[in-house]
Each structure stands twice: as structure tokens, then as C-alpha cells.
Amino acid sequence: MYTDKVLDHFTNPRNVGEIEDASGVGEVGNMKCGDIMKMYLKINDSTNVIEDVTFKTFGCGAAIATSSMSTEMIKGKSIDEALSLTNKAIADALDGLPPVKMHCSVLAEEALKAALLDYQKKSGKNLGLNEEDFEDWDEE
Amino acid sequence: MRSIYLDHAATTPVREEVIEAMVKVLRENFGNPSSIHQFGRPVRKMMEEAREKVAKAINADPREIIFVGSGTEADNIAILGGARANKKKGNHLITTSVEHHAVLDAFKALEKEGFEVTYLPVDEVGRISVEDFKNALRDDTIFVSVMHANNEVGTIMPVEEIGAICREKKILFHTDAVQSVGKIPVDVTKINCDFLALSGHKLYGPKGIGVLYMRRGVRTQPLYFGGGQERKLRPGTENIANIIGLSVAIELAVAEMEQESARLSKLRDKLIDGVLANIEETRLNGPREGRLPHNVNVSIEYIEGEALLLTCDMKGMAASSGSACTSGSLDPSHVLMAMGLTHTTAHGSLRLSLGKSTTEDDIDYIIRELQPIAERLRAMSPVWERFQKGLPIA
Amino acid sequence: MRSIYLDHAATTPVREEVIEAMVKVLRENFGNPSSIHQFGRPVRKMMEEAREKVAKAINADPREIIFVGSGTEADNIAILGGARANKKKGNHLITTSVEHHAVLDAFKALEKEGFEVTYLPVDEVGRISVEDFKNALRDDTIFVSVMHANNEVGTIMPVEEIGAICREKKILFHTDAVQSVGKIPVDVTKINCDFLALSGHKLYGPKGIGVLYMRRGVRTQPLYFGGGQERKLRPGTENIANIIGLSVAIELAVAEMEQESARLSKLRDKLIDGVLANIEETRLNGPREGRLPHNVNVSIEYIEGEALLLTCDMKGMAASSGSACTSGSLDPSHVLMAMGLTHTTAHGSLRLSLGKSTTEDDIDYIIRELQPIAERLRAMSPVWERFQKGLPIA
Ligand SMILES: Cc1ncc(COP(=O)(O)O)c(C=O)c1O
Ligand SMILES: Cc1ncc(COP(=O)(O)O)c(C=O)c1O
Ligand code: FES
Ligand code: FES
């Protein structure tokens, strides 16, 4: 069902935890669907580089593995690079997910954008993120 | 590494006596029981002996035993067939909200055909009340289905009371005994049922064989058509190897039941107590009393079930969960939700179903290993974080 | 005493490779393929590999293979499901008058539900004509079922032609290939069928397993309800041992087909020639050409089938008959009657179906032994007496 990479990231998730003085925090998902993901970003205000990133996830194996993988993929990257990260790229980096689990990877992409939106609000920078885009954010 | 199978409610290993009996059939008795020649006749005889064994196990008459392809099929012939064949008598059906999908989805199909169905609610341990049942009865109620014991939380239902009322009111009564046969006494004359379903692979027999008990004189109709096998209710060449395998399995299961169930009940209680004591914010799902001897179901709050399962599996503990995320569907177990659990609690449910191979040492291991697993998953759970910070949990 | 099994069209012995594969599953892979833990995952994988093997055997895509409980069930899901799911498009169905009961009785049920069914006639060798088929087509024809080869007389039907016409007219086409798979080439892309049914126990696999091929994009509906197994078309815990057994059997059957069918065809022709030459007033049922390689069906006039069978059995020859008296019903085989045989001739029919174990020596034995058996039964037959005295035969 799951690839070795998914199982690896599930078993040894990278960057679990909280960041005390995070530049941006995003939480997405809901209890009804059984998946909630929270992402913390530490961003260098002058270079726009994501210097640190952590997550917490309540969700299935795929949800935890995609959370973990996404943090690895954006750590040390610029905000622009992070903004272009798609759920498909995360899933590909894990050598794929079962079709029924693709929606779990959406969660990671969503959480990241939510955290960046929070940073946009806090920093006053315009990252081109729009609150409304989140309201009707849909799976696939 | 350790490898403990804790999913006996999902399926059981096939016991050696059963395998040997099946292999003998596969090698020596391949004939078609409908053939009147020397290859067919002995097979017919074996099949009828198997029917007698199965009948004896549930105190039925051999003529009341119909071999079918699975527990699901038995449930469906009883329900779809029983309701459709008696449509003229009335349009109302009753079942419970915590049945297996083989029952529930059959009723959903009947609703689409125009039947009205009452789904009885359950209390917080998953049990229906006889009072609710009585209140649900109508003049046009023709068919009732209440499972003997629940597959997720092990709750035993008051089927004798329901059966007595149905018999008195001449309403057809089906019980899904897939989880109970071989675990607790099952006697069709005491349950007063008209139909009963059981399945081979839950009692150390093969997969792909089920039994429909149908009381003499009761009418149903088949789901599909063909040869005249199994009184036309289950046409198609009979699966003799599985029929023999099931008959061996059920005979042994019933013979060993008293002793094995006492042993399992003790292990079950030790496991429940150990987990609840060892892991904070954990609750038992289903009742303390009136529970299948091999069923443990706990919710470890603020953890998601599939993640829990996968981690358990890595530590050699194979269990199951009522979380949506394991099933691919979005809602968590309909049984847990019907019992009034919140989504959070339902998602964190873990079913550990014990069996013949389970030892006391296994139980100790589970109690010991589950705690750090819960801790680790909680450490990465934003919901646990909310809980600890005293924040509201959606 | 000799013991020759000549009823391979009824069922076949399970080959040793199949038994071994099944025993391995029963002992080592008991897990439920729906379980995500270490006991379930490998079983799921095995099941998908089996699906690939079966797909390859009939040149299908693995996603088009649905494991069911029997050939009968496959036929019924295709026919009942296919017709019901497409009812809105039209009300007319076509099949033949010589189908197996698994097909015929499904159509009878659909007639009761309000569908109109045309049963195509057959010629004297049991074959439908494509012309008749074309003439039967209507604007509201939505579903056609024509068997690939007949189980009683071995007649191979023009399914490619039927399939091509149905595809062109966008009419669903099902073929019952229970008798043909492993005997003659079966390629779903050449037959152009939307559904195809096959069964394990006709090709040296286990009983109680069938396959429904369903072309991608085609819709049907299940006969019963429950878990989501086999794309909801065949709910219930999967019979893995049988699924693996079938996959091994079909792979071997197809690999050995060319050679084995050539061998059997020779034996078949020798047997036909020998019986016709040796016993007077005997006729071949079914065609000389376009016949299953293992099927021999002769009518030994003025003898009743069951008596013939029993006597053959005493001489170690296990065969079958189209006589009413073996089936408990009063009419002789609908297949033989549709071919225009008289009651007398149909009653005297004897099917000898050859298989892997059949040797040339067996054939010689049968030819030798059948003649005195016929003579003995005729000596006590009043119909034979009438015939010999030149009196009219009812
Ligand atoms: C042509 C044909 N179709 C269907 C069937 C039914 O197959 P099964 O016995 O597996 O249900 C048979 C054999 O019994 C058959 O010969
Ligand atoms: C209560 C109950 N009913 C019915 C079934 C269906 O049985 P089977 O898998 O043999 O179709 C099961 C198990 O899957 C069950 O637990
Ligand atoms: S988080 Fe719910 S299915 Fe993955
Ligand atoms: S003579 Fe006995 S059944 Fe026909």
C-alpha cells in the first residue's frame, strides 16, 4: 500500500514540533475528516528564506509522511519556492501515494500556504496570497 | 521481531485440522455432488454429513442449513430474500444502526425498493433496548434483523427477547451471528430466529464459505439463479472443500468454546485494565459485561487510528481501527458514531481482537508497548497540543 | 476395477500444483486483504498478482477482473446486473435456447421483472445462426448473452461475429466461457465482449471460485451488498486460497492448451467413431467440426439415460446424461430438445467428457464396454422391442 519512502517518513518523521517564535503558523483540516495539520515557519525577513519549519499532524500514515516530506522540501528554500510546492510534488517525492490517499497530501500543501498567509499578515509583505482562496480550497 | 495477531474479529488463521480435511477433499473427493456416479455419490454423502455437523453446532435441523459463499451472502439472502418474498404482508422493516455493512447495505437497498426501515439507536455501549424495539414495531412490520454480537465493540445484543417478540407477532427475525458462533452459545431454538448467518473464516475455518440457517417453513427467495443446488437458494457447483472445512471448524469451535472463552475473557479484561491504567485519556468502547470474550476496543484520544495501526504493526502488533482513514471513506465507524462518540474519539479507536494464539505474555507486551506509541503520536498531534493547552477541540 | 472419470465437463480434479498453492495460502497467508497490517498486506499483493495472471489468460486488463464465488455468480452479475443497470436504455434482451441454467434462469427472472427476452433457436448441431441473431435485434435491444461453447454437446458458438455486431450497435454482450477457457483460445478483445464468465472447477482449479470479466467503462450492479470488496460487485471477505488456486490453474491450462487440446481432439474423434461404429442406432449429438476438444455426446437410442449411467458406472466409467431422470425434473435436457431431438433420443443421451487423465487405453475400453451395456439395456427395453418390430414409437 505505502512506498518505502512513505513508511520511512511515517516512522521517522522529520521536523516534528513547534517553533516558539514562529514567523507564521498555519492549521488546516478538520476533526470530522480525521485530519488536522499545523505548520510552523521561521522566515528570515531580509532574505525571505525559510530557515526553520516544523509540523504537527493528526492523521493517517500518508498525512504524517507528506507533512514530514513537505518540511524537508521547503527547509532552506525561499518563500517563492515554497509557494510553488504542490501536493503532487510532495507525493512524487514520496514515490507516490495510493489514489485514496492523495487528499492527505493536499493537507500539507494547504498547511504550508496557510502558514505563509499568516506570515503575510504578520509581516505586512505581499506574497500574493489571498484569504478567500483558502475559504473554498478544495481537495483536488 | 515479535508478531502478534490481534485481528481475529477480521479473520482467523485456518486451523490445521481444517486444512487437513480440506486437502483430503481437494485430493480425493473432487467429484460434483450432483453426479450420480462413483465420483459424485461419496461427495454428496460428505456434504450431508457436514450439514449435520453444522446443524448440531447451532441446534438446528440439517434441512435448515444452506451452504453459501460467505457471511455476507447469508445475510443478504436472509434480508433481501426474506423481505422481498414477504412484501405482500407489509412494508416495514427493523434493524439496528450498528449492524455490519452486509446487513446495513442490504437494508439500504431495500429502502430504495420502497421498503420503510427503522434503524434502532444504541446506547453508549452499543446495545439496543428492547423497549425501543417494541416502540418501533408496527402493524406492517414484516422483517427484523438484529446482530447477535457486534464486530467492532463486541456488544452482545438481547436477541432472545427480540426473537420471542417476533415469534409471537409472526414477524420474520434474522440474526447475524458471524461474530458470535464459537465464542458464545448460539442456539437457534433459544434465539427463536427464522434466519441466522455465520461465516467460516471467523472461526478458524476457510474464507469464502458461509451458512444460512433458515427455519423450516420459512420462505425467502434467491439472489441469483442457476442449478438447483442448496434448494435453489444458492445455485452453482458446491464448494465441497470449504463446506467440509467449515464443518470441521465449527464442530471444534463449539466443543472448545467454554474453555477457550473463559481463557480469552480473562486476557481481555487484563488488556482492557492495563491499557486504561497505562495510557491517560483513554476510554473503553463497548460494555464491560455482555461483551464478546475476545474483543477489546479502546479509544486513545487525540491520535488517528491508521497512524496508530501502522505504528503498532511496526512493533509486531496487528490490530484494526474504526478510523475513517483506514477505510478510505471519510466518516469514522458508523458503530462508534451511533454510540455517541465524537469524531476525535472515534478516530482514535483501536480494536484488539484476541484468539487461540494469544498468550498472557502477548497481553503484557501490548500493555507495555502501547504506551510509548501513544506518547510518540501524541507528541506530533496538534489535537493533543490543543487538549493540553486547554483549547477547544473542534 | 477400472475407474475412468469421463465427466470433466461437470467438474475436474484439482491439479496438484493448485492444491499446493492453496495449502500454502491456507497455512501462511490467512490475513484479510483489507487489513493494512503485516498479515493483510502480503495477501492483498498476492491477490493482485493472481488478478494479473487471470487477466493475461484471457487477454484482459487486471482492472477488468472481478473474483466471484462461482461461474453461476459471474453469469448472474453480468446478466441481472447488466440488464437492470441499463433498463432505461431499452427493454429487450437476447440469448440462446441452449444456455446453461445459470444464464437461462437469470433471463427467466428478468422476464418476470418486465424485460422481453428472445431465445435464439439452434440448428441440429446446437449452433445459433448469425442471421437469426441479426433478425432478432431491435432498437431497444440492450443486452445479449451467447455462450462461447455448450456444456452438453460442446458446440462452439459464433461469438466473435455476435460480439462485433453488438459492439457496433453499442449493445452489451456477455459470453459464458465456463466451458471454453483452457480448451480453446479465449481472447476478450477478439470476442469483443463486455462481460465474460469463467469458473475454477472446470479447469482443474477449485470449486467455489469464478471470474467475471467486465470491460472497462461498462456498468452493472451487484446482486447483494456489504463491504467494498471487488469494486462492490462481490462484497464479502475474499476467498484468497481459491483465488490463488484459480490463478495457478488458469495459467497452466492456457499454457498447456494447444498440446492438450490436440491430444484430446484425437481421442474424442476416436471415441465418437468407435461408438457409432460399434453400437447400432446411435447418433452423435453436436457437430463434428467446431466442437470442444473434450466433448463426446451420443444418443444410444431406446435406452434411458440414468440406467445407462448407472450401468456404465458399475463398469468403472463415470459419465453424465441429458436424461430427465438424472436431474429429477421430468423433461429431458433443454439443449437436446432445442436441437430437435425426440424425447426418446434425448433420453438415451450420454455425455463422455475427456480430460487430462484420459488415455487412449481408456478410449479403447469404453468403446469395448459400451456395446454390451447398450445391448443389455435394450434387451429389457420395450421401446427397443417396438423399434425392432417396426411398431411406431410414441
Ligand atoms: C456453461 C456453464 N455455465 C455456467 C456453469 C456454472 O458454473 P459453476 O458451477 O461454477 O457455478 C457451468 C457449470 O456448471 C457451465 O457448464
Ligand atoms: C458481523 C459480521 N457480519 C458479516 C460479516 C461478513 O462475513 P464475510 O466476510 O464472510 O462475508 C462479518 C465479517 O466480515 C461480520 O463481522
Ligand atoms: S488523513 Fe485521513 S485519510 Fe489520510
Ligand atoms: S423413470 Fe425414474 S425418473 Fe424417469
Between A105 and B325, the more confident residue is A105
What is the B205 CA–ligand 2 centroid distance (Å)?
A: 13
CB contact under 8 A, B37 and C7: yes
Residue C76: nearest ligand to its CA? 1
CA distance readout (Å), C228 to B175, B208, C234, C319: 22, 15, 8, 41
Residue of A nearest to C43 (CA): A1
Please report the beta strands in C85-230, taking only residues with DSSP state E, as ranges in sequence order: 92-96, 116-120, 141-145, 172-176, 195-199, 210-214
Cβ atoms of B97 and B121 within 8 Å: the answer is yes
The C-alpha cell that represents B41 in the structure block: 455419490
CB B296 within 8 A of CB B353: yes
User: Between the CA of residue A19 and those of A13, A42, A55, A56, B389, what are the distances in Å?
Assistant: 16, 7, 9, 11, 15
Interface residue C330 vs chain A (CB under 8 A): no
pLDDT at residue A92, as a whole number: 96
Q: Tell me the ligand closest to C321's alpha carbon.
A: 4
Kind and range of the H or E run holding B22: helix B16-28
Q: What is the pLDDT of residues B356-384, one digit of tens each?
A: 999 999 999 999 999 999 999 999 999 99
Confidence of residue B52 (pLDDT cuts 50, 70, 90): very high
Return the pLDDT at A49: 97
Angle at B308 between CA B307 and CA B314, to 5 degrees: 90
Distance from CA of C145 to the nearest CA of B (A): 15
The interface residues of chain B toward chain C in range 184-213, judged by CB-CB distance below 8 A, are 199, 201, 206-210
B328–A16 CB contact, under 8 Å: no
Pairing verdict, β C295-300 and C349-353: antiparallel
A99-113, B44-58, B149-163, C130-144: which has the minimum mean pLDDT? A99-113
Fold of B16-253: Aspartate Aminotransferase; domain 2 (3.40.640)
Residue C251 class from Cβ within 10 Å (0-12 exposed, 13-18 middle, 19+ buried)? middle
Measured at the CA of C299, the angle between CA C293 and CA C303, to 5 degrees, comes to 145
Residue A15 Rama label (left phi>0; alpha psi -120 to 50; beta): left
Read off the pLDDT band of C313 (50, 70, 90): very high
SS (H, E, C) C350-380: EEEECCCCCCHHHHHHHHHHHHHHHHHHHHC
Q: Which residues of C touch B81 (CB under 8 A)?
A: none
Q: Are A97 and A62 in contact (CB under 8 A)?
A: yes
Q: Please tell me the distance in Å from C36's CA to the nearest CA on chain A.
A: 8
Q: How far apart are CA C199 and CA C202, in angstroms?
A: 6
A103 alpha carbon – ligand 3 mean position (Å): 7
Q: N- to C-terminal Cα distance for chain B?
A: 39
Give the model confidence (pLDDT) of C315-373 as tens digits.
999 999 987 655 555 678 999 999 999 988 999 999 999 999 999 999 999 999 999 99
Site to substitute for ligand 1 among C151, C175, C204, C242, most atoms within 8 A of C-beta: C151
CA dist B320 and B153 (Å) reads 12
List residues forming the annotated binding site of B for pyridoxal 5'-phosphate. Answer: 71-72, 151, 179, 199-201, 237
Ligand 1 neighbourhood includes C263 CB (under 6 angstroms): no
Please tell me whether residue C104 adopts helix, strand or coil conformation.
helix
For C45, half-sphere exposure in the C-beta direction (CA atoms, 13 angstrom radius) is 10
Whether the domain at C4-10+257-388 and the domain at C16-253 fall into the same CATH topology: no
Number of H helices, E strands in chain A: 6, 3
- Binding residues of B for [2Fe-2S] cluster, by number, are 325
Question: Are residues C139 and C89 in contact, defined by beta-carbon separation less than 8 angstroms?
Answer: no
In this prediction the ipTM stands at: 0.94
Instruction: Yes or no: say if B326 and B309 are a contact pair by the CB < 8 Å rule.
Output: yes
Binding site, annotated residues of B: 71-72, 151, 179, 199-201, 237, 325
* R_g (Cα) of chain C, nearest Å: 22
Whose atoms come closest to the Cα of C327: which ligand?
4
Q: List % helix, strand, coil for chain A (3-state, nearest 5).
A: 50, 20, 30
**DSSP 3-state assignment of C231?**
helix
Q: How far apart are CA C108 and CA C284, in angstroms?
A: 30
Q: How far is the CA of B260 from the centre of ligand 2 (A)?
A: 21
- Whether the per-residue pLDDT at B152 is higher than 60: the answer is yes
pLDDT reported for residue B325: 59
Q: Is B248 near chain C, with CB under 8 Å? A: no
What is the band of A29 on the pLDDT scale with cuts at 50, 70, 90?
Answer: confident
pLDDT of residue C163: 98
Q: Determine the Cα angle at C341 with ends C310 and C279, to 5°.
A: 50
Q: Residue C129: is its pLDDT beyond 70?
A: yes
- Would you say C274 is a known binding-site residue? no
For C93, phi and psi rounded to 5 degrees?
Answer: -125, 150
Contact: B323, A64; criterion CB under 8 Å: no
Judged on CB neighbours under 10 Å (0-12, 13-18, 19+), C392 is: exposed
Q: Map out the domains of chain B as residue ranges.
A: 4-10+257-388, 16-253
What are the DSSP E strand ranges found in C97-139?
116-120
Q: What CATH class has C4-10+257-388?
A: alpha beta
List of chain B residues whose C-beta atoms are within 8 Å of the C-beta of residue A139:
none
**Distance (Å, rounded) from C-alpha B120 to C-alpha C230?**
30
